[in-house]
Structure 1
């Protein structure tokens, strides 16, 4: 197994960093804390950023000149907006007919998370509204709206009288608006300090094609951080599956489960790695799906437009809007460059990890057993085809597995094997720099948490004991633990 540290307390022993390392014991809490390793500073191995930049949008340090050139070529497709066809900009047309945004960077500001949409009636941009079944026995998406609300559209109006007679929907229009509001959730830490959480309420309004099907629920998500995804793609599947314990056979209260999802190219069922519910099995499919679902750009992985049969004007816009349906809107070479950009997108080095306060927070992180889901470290597959990503010691703090996070975070929506209470463990590397790099920090799947502390307080389900351990800390200890998470 290529894990540097598995950190699961199976049989009460911790797998240490190496044979000569001796973990520090915390006898009061019966937790063994691993010795600090210098590799923790270079969080992404050779794909770590050379220094702290003003954004996450830089390649890893140890890449060749050719790899860096490919990275910046892919960045152009990530950054530049797409336009409706036909257009003089032949290599950037094909937008829509329905879409969320015109470019990748619009939702992934600085390679991170765009500014969250304000409360009220909004035409969402950074927030994506996924649609899914609330009934595990029904696997179909909404028959009218598909699997995602696309609030924007290119302009197209049916003019054929015979076609108009057959449909009530003669204009191609965005599918819906989102009504977002917040309730306050008040609480206190054990030491008496008060806290306030924001619990979002979501409702779709101005539905352009009628109501959702009765079994369909909505799941609102804030576009995630994308740095380091190439290295997550390079972790051996066996190393992930060795962490799976869906029935909690070891009795530690943690039931890591991997989503099983289709590879759309091969047709094989594989382990899900990407997306808030681990819906996509690899980075190429994640990027290809985002092009089609978010921007309306068809490709060899997703050849069909997102228009459903009810959306007659959308289908005719796709057919007659200047782009032949036989021609994919992003050819493989440009899609591959965009995937390469994502593969080589580096991760910032850790900051001040060896300071006394951060080391104290590191110890508290392990004492609270946060590492049971936020697995600290791996060595990527030595046979991974992209050699720059192979055999790298990385510290992402995730198991990429699904966990029951409790009713407070539940959306009620199923995605393949993921239930309405289950979410993939989010990587922690680099998240402490979001404020510095984007001007805002928002956490969790829908950005409801304004601070790392709030994100911890939303944890429930399998993570309830870790949250309660955090709530029981005094302020100085809480601050130290948060500083550690900000530093990694």
Structure 2
């Protein structure tokens, strides 16, 4: 591991600066009130975030992956649902009300429960919590853990480059895509009374054997997806399908508070240093700010802010309108006339939206302040050995261990914290095995944002399973590693050939996160 050459930092910064051509009132990230760092602070941050080479014991503060925002509460099924202990006491009620909205069961309109109607008309779930189970991960449709509501199937078709926003088109090196002209941005497998679901998602698996050192054999499952009983006719050969399992919700506010400059400093889109890693920042269109931003949220970092991610989920998954997505019909297209004519639940008290500005802000606040659980066994010899393997194998080249967040005037829970998310928030080519053919923003069909690893060791505790990757195909850490390709191929191959004991230690380290 090393700091990127200065030329790469300048190049990456230039790309983003050029993309944000029209400065916004209040600064580059006006939704955050940032106090600029001093030279002395930058020097301290450089020292504390430098990758370690000493694996004889845990690093200072390693047990607190979210700094002062780390939850020290009991590690049970609620481990992902605690608020940041550094959150002001005066905001605890806001957090609880936001939680109530996150868990709310929406109903179809018209209804006597005016504050809860407006579901659909087509949708994938009735509540945010139905996808983010216990604020954690969802699961694929065939999972023994339960039903399929925590799974969505994105859909897109190619479009002419001329139809794309001029601000973004110049940064794409592939044929851009758009939502399906009939089925919209994702397949809706549920509908309110009188509305037929768009289809039924089917998944099948092919078992693949992968030989490992020490005489071991791993088994992977390669998924295939199909939409059965499509309500509006065949999707067409050009349609690209991308399955998405809902990710865990912890630490989002801290990821939002990472300085853009620190993300860009690790970008190397042309692999100028020759290390085989060529991460690039996502450049996402911001509906909220009517400009392009560095993307952070979603499997391909397609959203720049928590608020935009929440509003997009309300629209696509529940069919709920917000100030950012005011259409009462959610993801229904102009071709779905019956859906668009169905009653909607817009309320005058919320300026005609099904969830207004206040409600959206409360859900955003809740999502921003879900705490990261404390690490376990950081001084265990097996965990330390696995940490060494993690670094020496090259995993930390993308799963960057440490950042220090911006100093924020009005967000004390996220302000100036040393955090350990194990992500660089950049897009990486993960190879053909994980390719979905679904471009998003600057991300091609083979590129994905590096997934944060903090808290993953508690997935089974919270959600009762260990289904990882964007579609839940991996049934544990080893399978997730073995699906890595592209820029991660060398590290993946090293895991297959390393001594069995090192491989076990690597898994033990991941379980401690």
- State the shift of 1:292 in Å: 0.9
| Superimposed CA distance per residue, residues 86-130 of structure 1 (whole angstroms, 9 cap, x where no aligned partner) | 22222111101111000011111111113432179x994111100
1:350–1:301 CA distance, 2 compared to 1 (3 A):
same
Of the three residues 468, 493, 497, the one matched with 1:472 is: 497
- State the shift of 1:416 in Å: 1.6
Q: Distance in 1 between matches of 2:447 and 2:51?
A: 32
User: Structure 2 stretches of 5 or more lacking a match?
Assistant: 7-42, 160-173
Say which SS state the counterpart of residue 215 (structure 1) adopts: coil
Look up the match of 1:43: 65
| Superimposed CA distance per residue, residues 357-401 of structure 1 (whole angstroms, 9 cap, x where no aligned partner) | 101111111000100000001000113642221101100000111
Look up the match of 1:139: 177
Look up the match of 1:206: 229
Alignment: residue pair count: 457
Q: Are positions 1:189 and 2:212 aligned together?
A: yes
| Superimposed CA distance per residue, residues 425-454 of structure 1 (whole angstroms, 9 cap, x where no aligned partner) | 000000011111111111000000011011
Q: Distance in 2 between matches of 1:260 and 1:61?
A: 32
Q: Distance in 2 between matches of 1:217 and 1:383?
A: 40
Q: Is the 8 A contact 1:22 1:35 kept in 2?
A: no
- State the shift of 1:203 in Å: 1.0
- State the shift of 1:190 in Å: 2.4
Of the three residues 471, 477, 487, the one matched with 1:446 is: 471
Q: Are positions 1:352 and 2:380 aligned together?
A: no
Q: Are positions 1:93 and 2:117 aligned together?
A: yes
Say which SS state the counterpart of residue 173 (structure 1) adopts: coil
User: Structure 1 stretches of 5 or more lacking a match?
Assistant: 1-5, 26-31, 157-171
Q: Distance in 2 between matches of 1:309 and 1:221?
A: 25
Equivalent runs, 1:24-35 vs 2, <5 Å: none
Of the three residues 375, 378, 392, the one matched with 1:367 is: 392
1:384–1:137 CA distance, 2 compared to 1 (3 A):
farther
Q: Are positions 1:232 and 2:237 aligned together?
A: no
Say which SS state the counterpart of residue 508 (structure 2) adopts: helix
Of the three residues 51, 57, 61, the one matched with 2:81 is: 57
1:19–1:420 CA distance, 2 compared to 1 (3 A):
closer
Of the three residues 133, 155, 158, the one matched with 1:109 is: 133
Equivalent runs, 1:275-314 vs 2, <5 Å: 275-304=298-327, 305=329, 306-314=331-339
Equivalent runs, 1:68-467 vs 2, <5 Å: 68-118=92-142, 124-133=148-157, 136-156=174-194, 172-304=195-327, 305=329, 306-318=331-343, 327-383=352-408, 385-467=410-492
- State the shift of 1:36 in Å: 3.7
- State the shift of 1:322 in Å: 7.9
Q: Is the 8 A contact 1:85 1:323 kept in 2?
A: no
Q: Distance in 2 between matches of 1:65 and 1:151?
A: 41
TM-score (norm 2): 0.84
Q: Is the 8 A contact 2:346 2:352 kept in 1?
A: no
| Superimposed CA distance per residue, residues 323-375 of structure 1 (whole angstroms, 9 cap, x where no aligned partner) | 78971100111111111110110011000011111011111110001000000
Look up the match of 1:160: none
Say which SS state the counterpart of residue 69 (structure 1) adopts: helix
Q: Distance in 2 between matches of 1:9 and 1:268?
A: 28
- State the shift of 1:132 in Å: 2.1
- State the shift of 1:473 in Å: 1.6
